[in-house]
Each structure stands twice: as structure tokens, then as C-alpha cells.
Amino acid sequence: RERGSSGRNVRLGFTMAGLPPGDPQLVSMIVNHLKTQGLFDQFRRDCLADVDTKPAYLNLRQRVDNFVSNHLSNHTWSPHLNKNQLRNNIRQLVLQSGMLEQGVDRIVAQVVDPKIHHTFRPQVEKVVREFLSPGQAADESPVYLAQPEEKQGWQAEWPPGRAAP
């Protein structure tokens, strides 16, 4: 049985709250802590700052613009045209076309995926480590969510013990 400087059990698999890794209550506490640290907002801002320069976004925007233009070309404008109904109809047609799902998947692949291991993961691990081991000296062994060499790609365990979505 080993203990870190904070007195937390290191090798027994229990956290400072006495909850095992992967426990839903512990995961909820960690997620709330990440939110209060502003990490999710920072990630969102970082991704949104990049999105409009990526080919996947530009392609999706062009496809939606063309789809809407083609649909509107079949309608004749009149003062009695119900614009709200037309807008909702176009929105439904765009959603039903599937182009948004495909486009968003490509955008995520171009914007989010490259940042996961080199930007997001180290920041999340640092905040989780600080949450689980407050006061832990910098030279002590860090607490990892999952060893990078054990898991490849985005399928790393998140939370530990559960496969990522």
C-alpha cells in the first residue's frame, strides 16, 4: 500500500473521495470541476476559432447554400408568402438530407481530432490530477486517465473503465 504526499491511496484504486475510478459520482465531480475551471469553454473557443478556416466547414457551408438556393428557386416571392413556414420547411429538408451529419463529422475530424491528444488531453489530465491529488508535489507520479501507450485514438477509456463514445 503506497500513499502520495496528500495521503491518497495510490495503488489501491481509490480516490480521495473514497470512490473507485470510473464511479459515476466521481466522474460527475470531476466533470463539474472541469467546468468550474472553464476548461470546456476554453476548448469550445479554441475549436470555434479554427472552424471557419477548415475545408470541411467551407464545403458544408457551400453545400447548404446551394441546397437552400435550389429550393428557393422553386418558389415565387409574394407579399403573402409565409416566410416562417418556408424557413422551417427548408430547415427540415436540410436536416433530413443528412448533409449536416456528414459535414459535422468531417469538421470534427479536421478541428477537434488533431487537438485531442496534444492539447485537450494534457490539460484535462492536469486538472484531474490536481483535483484528485491536491497539494501533490510536481515530482510525484502523475495520475493518468489511461496510459497513452495502452490506448490508441479517441477510444481511450473515458471515464476509466468505460469506452469512450
Report if residue 160 sits inside a domain: no
At 79-101, the pLDDT tens digits run: 888 999 999 999 999 999 999 99
Number of domains in the chain: 1
Report if residue 93 sits inside a domain: yes
For the chain, give the mean pLDDT: 79
pLDDT value at residue 137: 54
Domain containing 103 equals 53-111
pLDDT value at residue 161: 45
Q: Three-state SS for 152?
A: coil
Q: Are 68 and 94 in contact (CB under 8 A)?
A: yes
E strand map for 15-153: none
pLDDT value at residue 134: 80
pLDDT value at residue 54: 95
How far, in Å, CA of 71 to CA of 54, rounded?
26
pLDDT value at residue 116: 93
Report if residue 70 sits inside a domain: yes
Report if residue 46 sits inside a domain: no
pLDDT value at residue 71: 94
Report if residue 37 sits inside a domain: no
Low-confidence ranges of the chain (pLDDT < 70): 1-17, 137-165
Q: Three-state SS for 62?
A: helix
How far, in Å, CA of 89 to CA of 75, rounded?
12
